[in-house]
Amino acid sequence: MLWIKAFHIVMVASWFAGLFYLPRIFVNLAMVEPGSSAEWARLLLMARKLLRFTTLLAVPALGLGLVLWLYYGIGLAAGNGWMHAKLALVVLVIAYHAYCAKLLRQFEAQRNQRSHVWYRWFNEAPVILLSVIVVLVVVKPF
């Protein structure tokens, strides 16, 4: 079980690294001056590759988490409200990831309607989510 837990942590950390950086690329895309087609194309390529890689990391992170939860029973005992809260937040992380994909499609279609400032704030969500998830898993407050 410890090997699975270790690889789960590595995959989650890697997945979040992508979720931390992808919106930073969106900040830069939102700041590209009209007519800077080379910069636009380079940033879009980076965003596409990072989203693909981040998605590939999310799959084993979620799969290993399910193994720990359902096979090893972590968080299944009575009084593990922290696990329900954690799972709710994981659903929010998945939704955030999917929304990043939607935002990338909007950039690709040149239909972005948001400012670089909005993306800077949007970039803070995974930091907050990860912080709360780690506290729930380590402290198990309820």
User: Are 62 and 4 within 8 A, CB to CB?
Assistant: no
Determine the pLDDT at residue 9: 97
Q: Which two tokens stand for residue 118?
A: 């909005």
CA distances from 34 to 16, 38, 120 (A): 31, 11, 20
Residues in the chain: 142
Query: What is the average per-residue pLDDT within 36-52?
Result: 97
Determine the pLDDT at residue 124: 98
The pTM (predicted TM-score) of the whole model is 0.95
Query: What is the average per-residue pLDDT within 45-63?
Result: 98
Q: Which two tokens stand for residue 101?
A: 């994909």
Quote the number of domains for the chain: 1
Determine the pLDDT at residue 75: 82
Query: Each residue of 84-101: pLDDT tens digit?
Result: 999 999 999 999 999 999
Q: 14 is in which domain, residue-wise?
A: 2-139
How much is the mean pLDDT over the chain?
96
